[in-house]
Structure 1
Amino acid sequence: MTPQNDGAARATPARRPTIKDIARRAGVSESAVSFALNGRPGVSQGTRDRIHRVAEDLGWQPNSAARALSGERSGCVGLVLARPAHTLGVESFFLQLVSGVQEVLAARKVALLFQVVEDIEAECAVYRRWWAEKRVDGVLVVDPRSDDPRPELLDSLGLPSVMIGAPAEGERQVSTVWADDSAAMASVLAHLYELGHRHVVHVAGLPGLAHTERRINSLRTEAGRLGLTAIRSVPTDYSDAEGAEATRRVLDSDAPPTAIVYDNDVMAVAGVAVAAERGIKVPGELSIVAWDDSALCRVTHPRLTALVRDTSGFGRLAAEELLARLDGGPVRSLQAELPHLEPRESTGPPTSGA
């Protein structure tokens, strides 16, 4: 039975240009093209320039797989995120971070390979696979853990890496770029204390993350220094749903707080919504602080007091350090600019006893 022709012409897939195509168009040998495109001697400057013009006209690009097999760079770096996937679409931090990373990589024509996995074990498995397949030249690592297996693994693989968000501790195995979360939390508590708040709850992010632990520890240390005892942290998964639920729990407690500090903007906005549904005035009866500033913080009513930092710049710094490592630079620890608190309408003196 002969298939019927539906009249639609089937498009022929475009063929990638090859060295042979360049040689034919430029009127030179394939070896001359290879020498010119790989920056090796053996052809005149005029011939080299002509070959490059032809290659550009044809849209030729080097085969990254072949380059990797030959020991050259793949032209790609990796980023794996081991977090609940449902939390990524609403949190602006990673979008801004990747924006800064991509800005630097694009300027060097380096690709970014991104993958989301369920847990740290799956993340380590991805690194092993990428290393074995020569898929990436190096990796950016986020969400440092208190007991983190990744630096040792990446060091053993010989895969250049930059850990984002962890200060160097002990003998460094990978480069790090970090911001001082402890000092930032101290500035938040100092602001609330000066306003008269004595009962503060911290709605934290995922437990086990190094920056979560640093914020919790800093809150406890500063509270002890100020003589405050009604201070505690509540862990969440960073989502608006858990942020809202944590807010309801602490407001339903026997001694509800007069101020809440949220570990991201999304949870802080959810907290404002919970306060509104209960008729709690912000900031009159409850002050709210968001850890990372964003458009959400600035358009919410009332506008949210927030910690402001250049998150895109943080991503640029990390990408620049990884490229420096790929170029043979040493392992380093770089501190980013300290986030500063931007007081807005969501914080004020408590109207009742603290």
Structure 2
Amino acid sequence: MKRPTMADIARRAGVSKVAVSYALNDQPGVSEATRASIKSIAEELGWRPNSAARALTGGRAQAVGLVVRRPARTLGVEPFFMEFISGVETVLAEHAYALMLQMVTDQEQEIEVCRRWWGERRVDGVFLMDLQTDDERLGAVREIGLPAVAIGPPDVAGELPAIWSDDGESVYEIVRYLTALGHRRIARVAGPAELAHTAVRDAALAEVCREAGIPAAAVVYTDYTGDEGARAARALLIAPERPTAIVFDNDIMAVAALSVAQELGLSIPADVSIVAWDESPLTQVVRPMLSAVTRDIPAYGAHSATALLALIGGEDVGSVRDGYAHFVPRGSTAPPPPEPAPR
């Protein structure tokens, strides 16, 4: 089906293309009744502004895109995304660039959004977040020539420049601290198993437990929501041999675990220690304050935006290791409770 144009709208409305342009761009020159009629016809025909026309005149879309494969409510409750976006916006604002954001439910939708944005010249490049160990988006953006920066481990980013934090180092720091306190039964409530950073944390956790001479840590995979985190924590805490320390892969799940512990009559940290990934206002307002790994997430976003704009500008951009999240002990970690005497 032929894509509707301003000429089609003008023909249907019985006005000139100039009048259509004035109406659709909210410029003076037409009456309010005419403007409303033109906009109604445009909506009926399914017309969309063609920013590709601007590109043909030598301009860019002056926007970059971020598609997040999470429930939309995630933005309201998980501080990581808003802190990351705040850092991105700091750089974009300096270059008169806008950020287009869309939430989707699966990778197929994400690829389709990227293709549509690029086809309509709505964006000059995109950020790819939550890299998977076998990520189809890499081939999709390469196929259409869409500039992209991967936010995640470089070994799964293919030919794309990657901005990454060394999650393995963070895991080592957490576990070494917990074992120094005397913990031997450690568990982890992780995000989705298919995510590349989940795999990095899995491998580091297995290795550091072997090095410390303690049993392999139990790992429960979730979707990062508080509900899933609470269910995982409950299952671990009612097990015959419950862990004495649990590491949660985000702050929301760690906070949810506090409620589960209270529900079960357990004291934090006397009965079980809790560690959250990425310190946030949430981890600091609860009691006890949660031990957590902390990093400058807005700077992470700013570095990502700087790399993407450089790539759009035709520069050679390599991968950037953006440090790693350091462990900060607070009130939710302590030595494990004494083992009961054998009968």
Change (3 A) 1:136 1:174: same
Number of residue equivalences: 298
Residues 300-337 of structure 1 deviation map (CA, whole Å, 9 limit, x = unaligned) = 10011000100010000000000111111113100102
Paired residue for 1:272, among 218, 233, 258?
Answer: 258
Asked if the contact 2:244/2:271 (under 8 Å) is kept, the reply is yes
Query: What are the equivalent positions in structure 2 for 1:31-46 lying under 5 Å apart?
Result: none
Residues 127-153 of structure 1 deviation map (CA, whole Å, 9 limit, x = unaligned) = 111121111100011000000111222
Give identity over the alignment, percent: 45
Give the counterpart letter for 1:198 in structure 2: R
Which shifted more, 67-76 or 175-184?
Answer: 67-76
Instruction: Say if 2:224 is the partner of 1:213.
Output: no
Instruction: Say if 2:310 is the partner of 1:324.
Output: yes
Query: What are the equivalent positions in structure 2 for 1:159-178 lying under 5 Å apart?
Result: 159-168=146-155, 172-178=158-164
Paired residue for 1:298, among 263, 284, 292?
Answer: 284
Q: CA RMSD in A?
A: 2.0
Which shifted more, 273-282 or 95-104?
Answer: 273-282
Instruction: Say if 2:89 is the partner of 1:102.
Output: yes
Give the equivalent residue in structure 1 for 2:12. none
Query: What are the equivalent positions in structure 2 for 1:274-289 lying under 5 Å apart?
Result: 274-289=260-275
Q: Cα distance, 1:177 vs. partner?
A: 0.2
Structure 1 CA distance, aligned partners of 2:308 and 2:187?
37
Asked if the contact 2:237/2:243 (under 8 Å) is kept, the reply is yes
Give the equivalent residue in structure 2 for 1:333. 319
Change (3 A) 1:131 1:280: same
Give the equivalent residue in structure 1 for 2:27. 16
Give the equivalent residue in structure 2 for 1:227. 213
Q: Cα distance, 1:64 vs. partner?
A: 4.8
Give the counterpart letter for 1:300 in structure 2: V
Give the equivalent residue in structure 2 for 1:182. 168
Asked if the contact 1:64/1:75 (under 8 Å) is kept, the reply is no
Q: Secondary structure of 1:88's match?
A: helix
Structure 1 CA distance, aligned partners of 2:145 and 2:58?
14
Give the unaligned 5+ runs of structure 1: 1-11, 19-62
Q: Secondary structure of 1:288's match?
A: strand
Q: Cα distance, 1:230 vs. partner?
A: 4.6
Asked if the contact 1:87/1:238 (under 8 Å) is kept, the reply is no
Instruction: Say if 2:106 is the partner of 1:119.
Output: yes
Residues 139-168 of structure 1 deviation map (CA, whole Å, 9 limit, x = unaligned) = 011000000111222112111110012224
Residues 6-27 of structure 1 deviation map (CA, whole Å, 9 limit, x = unaligned) = xxxxxx9984379xxxxxxxxx
Give the equivalent residue in structure 2 for 1:132. 119
Asked if the contact 1:79/1:140 (under 8 Å) is kept, the reply is yes
Q: Secondary structure of 2:289's match?
A: coil
Q: Secondary structure of 1:307's match?
A: strand
Give the equivalent residue in structure 2 for 1:85. 72
Give the counterpart letter for 1:351 in structure 2: P
Give the counterpart letter for 2:113 in structure 1: V
Q: Secondary structure of 1:347's match?
A: coil
Asked if the contact 1:142/1:163 (under 8 Å) is kept, the reply is yes
TM-score by length of 1: 0.80
Residues 115-135 of structure 1 deviation map (CA, whole Å, 9 limit, x = unaligned) = 111100111111111121111
TM-score by length of 2: 0.83
Give the counterpart letter for 2:188 in structure 1: H
Give the equivalent residue in structure 1 for 2:16. none
Asked if the contact 1:87/1:237 (under 8 Å) is kept, the reply is no
Asked if the contact 2:133/2:156 (under 8 Å) is kept, the reply is no
Structure 1 CA distance, aligned partners of 2:211 and 2:316?
39
Give the equivalent residue in structure 2 for 1:259. 245
Q: Cα distance, 1:86 vs. partner?
A: 3.8
Paired residue for 1:152, among 139, 148, 158?
Answer: 139
Q: Secondary structure of 1:276's match?
A: helix
Residues 200-253 of structure 1 deviation map (CA, whole Å, 9 limit, x = unaligned) = 110001120000111111111111111211511100111111111101001111
Question: Which structure's CA Rg is the greater one?
Answer: 1
Asked if the contact 2:52/2:120 (under 8 Å) is kept, the reply is no
Q: Which 4+ residue blocks in structure 1 deviate beyond 6 angstroms? A: none
Give the equivalent residue in structure 2 for 1:48. none
